[in-house]
Amino acid sequence: MSVNKTLSPSLIYVPIEGGAHHSDIGNNYNPIPASDDTPALIEARNIETEILNVWVKEFHAERKAAKERLGL
């Protein structure tokens, strides 16, 4: 059983053909991309990286706006 659709803006489904649970973050000993990663796994990581970058930018923008509202 696995999530197979996006559930909300913060719970995004990223399909990985031929992947397994958490295969996108590596194994317990080496959570770093490896030379034998499949194209689907590489693409999933790229999508996840893009999503994380958007979230970080949104966080910084919201924090800046909050500081400005508080006069900090």
**Average confidence (pLDDT) per 10 residues, the chain, 72 residues:** 80 84 66 78 87 94 96 92
Task: Find how far residue 50's CA is from the centre of its chain.
Answer: 7
**Partners of 11 in the β-ladder:** 8
Query: According to the model, what pLDDT value does residue 30 have?
Result: 54
Query: According to the model, what pLDDT value does residue 63 have?
Result: 96
14 touches 40 (CB < 8 A):
no
Query: According to the model, what pLDDT value does residue 41 have?
Result: 87
pTM of the predicted protein model? 0.73
Query: According to the model, what pLDDT value does residue 68 have?
Result: 96
Q: What token pair was written down for 31?
A: 């959570």
How many independent structural domains does the chain possess?
1
Query: According to the model, what pLDDT value does residue 65 have?
Result: 96
In a domain, 47, yes or no: yes
In a domain, 31, yes or no: no
Question: How many Å apart are CA 8 and CA 18, to the nearest integer?
Answer: 24
Residue 45 structural domain: 36-70
User: Which residues lie below 8 Å from residue 16, measured CB to CB, with a gap of 6+?
Assistant: 23, 24, 40, 41, 44
